[in-house]
Amino acid sequence: MKHLNFDLILSALERVLPVRKEPLGLHEPSFQGNEWQYVKECLDTGWVSSVGKYVDRFEAELAEYAGVKKAIATVNGTAALHICLKLAGVEAQDEVLVPTLTFVATCNALSYCNAIPHFVDSDETTLGVDPVKLRKYLEEKTEIKAGKCFNRETGNRISALVPMHAFGHPVDLDAILKLCQDFHIELIEDAAESLGSYYKGKHTGSIGRVSALSFNGNKIITTGGGGAILTQDESLGKLAKHLTTTAKTPHRWEFNHDQVGYNYRLPNINAALGCAQLEQMDRFLKTKRALTEKYKMMFQDVPGVRLFTEPKFAESNYWLNVLLLDEPSFENRDRLLELTQARGWLTRPAWKLMHHLPMFQTCPKMDLKQAENLEKRIVNLPSSTFLGANYV
Amino acid sequence: MKHLNFDLILSALERVLPVRKEPLGLHEPSFQGNEWQYVKECLDTGWVSSVGKYVDRFEAELAEYAGVKKAIATVNGTAALHICLKLAGVEAQDEVLVPTLTFVATCNALSYCNAIPHFVDSDETTLGVDPVKLRKYLEEKTEIKAGKCFNRETGNRISALVPMHAFGHPVDLDAILKLCQDFHIELIEDAAESLGSYYKGKHTGSIGRVSALSFNGNKIITTGGGGAILTQDESLGKLAKHLTTTAKTPHRWEFNHDQVGYNYRLPNINAALGCAQLEQMDRFLKTKRALTEKYKMMFQDVPGVRLFTEPKFAESNYWLNVLLLDEPSFENRDRLLELTQARGWLTRPAWKLMHHLPMFQTCPKMDLKQAENLEKRIVNLPSSTFLGANYV
């Protein structure tokens, strides 16, 4: 292992990032639009909770923005994922294909359905599911019976694949969709990080049967905490709304619930924030792209590292910029994290790989070499929209 | 069945309730304190999401207010209940005793644990679990083996009892606690509706091993949507915080999660609302009590109905006032609902009994005569704090 030239990396970062008294977060929210006006209206009218015009408006505007038939606002991205799995028909004891390089929410949502994560490898060009490697693996390991895909070894059904657009960068959706069709597997996009990211001109989350968004405080837009389910299927959209609102059937006064439901409603006051944030997406995307360009330029002559950039088929929201070390090394990665954090820049590594977490260690998995390689090479850089404002 | 004298009831209501252009909700929130100031501070500082000082403050102030060691803010009351069940050790296939007269969230939370509701009857003096009837039933139907309670018929363990303080009115907690001790059953209080309600001087939710609160938009205080877990056990409190925050263990940068966790965090912006609301509890309780007194007076000479008032051992928050029909009759109840709603007063009945809902119809249950009687007699009256302001 070669040691990185940390001085060169730090001086590149110095030319992009401000030095502040308080630490510089990885992705700080920006409230420069109608946030206060909309939130104040909620307080003034008393409509802060689960019913209110901002929820309806946010859902309509999200659907339009993402080019889908229906968007259903939820209390967070994990809740959205949970319902997506139910909508796609994932059942207890099913296996669901997920990248090992993802945030834990993807796998937790599976556990809520008593389903089993089946870990798949990632691709260096997208940082997400590698469809070529996965196809070979499925050809070898699965069989189709009565139009359903089964794991030959465990005998369990494999009912869905949940690719995640890591750090906002789209996976190769055409190849993945084809794979899902060929193997009779439902496609659920974990688009938690990719609002504003496009695959061949289509918004991420508009291609899977159902998809999940997140508006957590660190995302490109935030509702405090929040998420959404996206779908092109009107009837699934209706069911999503029903399941997320305690499965209550309409009546003037009676409390009829027709199945076990969830209280996954996004409060109106949080939806108000979302409406104001969504209005600013164009600006956010422009400033983030400008920041990425700046980073790219600053790092182009720094040996041993490169800035990750979108694959040709994609237009990324560049939610979190990724500095990729050429050589896999926990030592170099951690030293870089230490040095940058000491300057008050809150960098971070990729998530710990899911198959290394204690509760998922015994889950089925394919060879995961590339994810293990990427884990040692990824460092996320501060990526707040305001950082790019000077470079637009 | 005798027909009620609806004219007399309506004219009693007219002397309490305003006639407005827009319908008068059952419980509308009141934002007359520091709500704006605290929420605006969140927007101005950018701290709207899952970390922030208002979450810590709200949790500390809630714990102090309710007289418990720890309060953990959650995204809503259902989430709080779900985690309470896990903290109390409820496992898949366990039966959990719950009143059939409750909101569906109590039973949904059980379903998330793959546990089975076992329905128990209610008492007319509290509208909650009848401990005398339940004791007799358990004596007959259960056996204790190795310090655990088992349903003799099904063979399942009965691991917990979840009494609910219906409409804010406390159940008889001494008798219920004794029962739980005698039968080796964990006591979980569903205090979703009873913030500000006391049992013999102790705050509801401070007696069970763990308890759940709700701050939904219709509750005595609201955070838009929100809830909390209360406990006297520091270590359970710690575990509650861990489970509700994705079970992440502390590290400068690594994403270590030691078990399947939940994203049940209350966003900071919602906690800010909660802090401002909690400051006004004394006023809210006073005005609500004054409203109840007024209702009581107006109905004292109306035949066929009476206003439900707190039992001697309790000080109720009177979250929702209950008009009790003397005789059980869906016909009278529904006619009264129709007539009042036609005037724009959003009255409502009690919840449909849980054992009548399709997903819970086959669950074990005791004789439920009293609950079935009460279902035909309860009408909730508009109970917003502002309605009592004139009568303080």
Segments forming the whole domain that contains residue B19: 6-28+281-391
Count of beta carbons in the 10 Å neighbourhood of residue B67: 15
Nearest Cα residue in chain B from A75: B75
pLDDT digits (tens, 9 = 90+) for A262-279: 999 999 999 999 999 999
Which residue out of A253, A258, A356 would a mutagenesis test of the B interface target, given it has the greatest number of B Cβ atoms within 10 Å? A253
Burial class, A156, CB count within 10 angstroms (exposed 0-12 / middle 13-18 / buried 19+): middle
Among the candidates A228, A255, A278, a domain finishes at: A278
Q: Determine contact: B41 vs chain A, CB below 8 A.
A: no
| ipTM for the assembly | 0.96
Are residues A177 and A267 located together in one domain of the fold? yes
Residues 6+ apart with CB under 8 A from B220: B27, B168, B195, B196, B281, B284, B285, B288, B317, B319, B385
Are residues A65 and A186 located together in one domain of the fold? yes
* Residues of chain B with C-beta less than 8 angstroms from the C-beta of A351: 255
Are residues B191 and B322 located together in one domain of the fold? no
pLDDT at site B336: 98
pLDDT digits (tens, 9 = 90+) for A160-211: 999 999 999 999 999 999 999 999 999 999 999 999 999 999 999 999 999 9
Mean pLDDT of B240-258: 95
On whether residue B316 sits in a domain, the answer given is: yes
Burial string for A102-119 (b: 16+ CB within 10 Å, else e) reads bbbbbbbbbbbbebbbbb
Percent of chain A with pLDDT over 70: 100
> Which of B 221-240 lie inside 8 A of A, CB atoms?
222-225
pLDDT at site B52: 81
Percent of chain A with pLDDT over 90: 95
Cα A257 to Cα A308: distance, rounded to the nearest angstrom? 48
Using pLDDT thresholds of 50, 70 and 90, give the confidence band for residue A51: confident
pLDDT at site B49: 78
> Which of A 129-168 lie inside 8 A of B, CB atoms?
none
Q: How distant is the alpha carbon of residue A364 from its chain centre? A: 23
pLDDT at site A151: 98
Are residues A136 and A205 located together in one domain of the fold? yes
The residue with tokens 């419980």 is B27
Are residues A173 and A318 located together in one domain of the fold? no
| Domain of residue A369, CATH code | 3.90.1150.10
Which residue out of B26, B269, B270, B333 would a mutagenesis test of the A interface target, given it has the greatest number of A Cβ atoms within 10 Å? B269
Q: How distant is the alpha carbon of residue A301 from its chain centre? A: 31
Closest CA–CA distance from residue A184 to any residue of chain B (Å): 28
Among the candidates B278, B295, B324, a domain finishes at: B278
pLDDT at site A148: 98
On whether residue A264 sits in a domain, the answer given is: yes
Residue B282 pLDDT greater than 90, yes or no: yes
Which residue out of A255, A266, A346, A353 would a mutagenesis test of the B interface target, given it has the greatest number of B Cβ atoms within 10 Å? A255
What does pLDDT average to over chain B? 97
On whether residue A69 sits in a domain, the answer given is: yes
pLDDT at site A128: 98
Closest CA–CA distance from residue A225 to any residue of chain B (Å): 6
Nearest Cα residue in chain B from A78: B263
Q: Determine contact: B113 vs chain A, CB below 8 A.
A: no
Residues 6+ apart with CB under 8 A from B69: B63, B231, B232, B233, B234, B237
Closest CA–CA distance from residue A349 to any residue of chain B (Å): 7
Cα A348 to Cα A214: distance, rounded to the nearest angstrom? 19
Are residues A145 and A227 located together in one domain of the fold? yes
Are residues A258 and A309 located together in one domain of the fold? no
Closest CA–CA distance from residue A280 to any residue of chain B (Å): 16
Q: Determine contact: A268 vs chain B, CB below 8 A.
A: yes
A19: DSSP letter: P
Mean pLDDT of A133-159: 98
Q: Determine contact: B74 vs chain A, CB below 8 A.
A: no
Closest CA–CA distance from residue A144 to any residue of chain B (Å): 30
Using pLDDT thresholds of 50, 70 and 90, give the confidence band for residue B390: confident
pLDDT at site B392: 86
CB contact under 8 A, B114 and A114: yes
Mean pLDDT of A59-80: 98
Nearest Cα residue in chain A from B248: A104
pLDDT at site A19: 83
On whether residue A1 sits in a domain, the answer given is: no
CB contact under 8 A, B262 and A108: yes
Residue A244 pLDDT greater than 90, yes or no: yes
If one counts the domains in chain A, the total is 2
Are residues A150 and A44 located together in one domain of the fold? yes
pLDDT digits (tens, 9 = 90+) for B38-56: 999 999 998 887 778 999 9
Nearest Cα residue in chain B from A375: B254
Using pLDDT thresholds of 50, 70 and 90, give the confidence band for residue A50: confident
pLDDT at site B340: 97
Supply the pTM of this predicted model. 0.97
Q: Do A123 and A370 touch, CB atoms closer than 8 A?
A: yes
Residue B69, classed as helix, strand or coil, is coil
Closest CA–CA distance from residue A46 to any residue of chain B (Å): 6
CB contact under 8 A, B43 and A28: no
Mean pLDDT of A342-350: 96
CB contact under 8 A, B261 and A108: yes
Among the candidates A278, A302, A323, a domain finishes at: A278
pLDDT digits (tens, 9 = 90+) for B12-42: 999 999 988 899 999 999 999 999 999 999 9
Mean pLDDT of A292-309: 97
Mean pLDDT of B332-346: 97
User: The tokens of B93 are what?
Assistant: 């296939």
Mean pLDDT of B223-248: 97
Are residues B209 and B74 located together in one domain of the fold? yes
Mean pLDDT of B60-66: 98
CB contact under 8 A, B49 and A341: no
Residue A312 pLDDT greater than 80, yes or no: yes
Are residues B340 and B369 located together in one domain of the fold? yes
Are residues B225 and B325 located together in one domain of the fold? no
pLDDT digits (tens, 9 = 90+) for A218-232: 999 999 999 999 999
On whether residue A123 sits in a domain, the answer given is: yes
Q: Determine contact: A347 vs chain B, CB below 8 A.
A: yes
The residue with tokens 């489970």 is B243
Q: Determine contact: B79 vs chain A, CB below 8 A.
A: yes
On whether residue B274 sits in a domain, the answer given is: yes
| Domain of residue B156, CATH code | 3.40.640.10
pLDDT digits (tens, 9 = 90+) for B93-151: 999 999 999 999 999 999 999 999 999 999 999 999 999 999 999 999 999 999 999 99
CB contact under 8 A, B263 and A50: no
> Which of A 298-337 lie inside 8 A of B, CB atoms?
337
CB contact under 8 A, A39 and B35: no
On whether residue B352 sits in a domain, the answer given is: yes
pLDDT at site A20: 87
Cα B51 to Cα B69: distance, rounded to the nearest angstrom? 21
Count of beta carbons in the 10 Å neighbourhood of residue A27: 23
Residue B224, classed as helix, strand or coil, is coil
Cα A48 to Cα A112: distance, rounded to the nearest angstrom? 29
Are residues B286 and B263 located together in one domain of the fold? no
On whether residue B1 sits in a domain, the answer given is: no
* Residues of chain A with C-beta less than 8 angstroms from the C-beta of B254: 349, 352
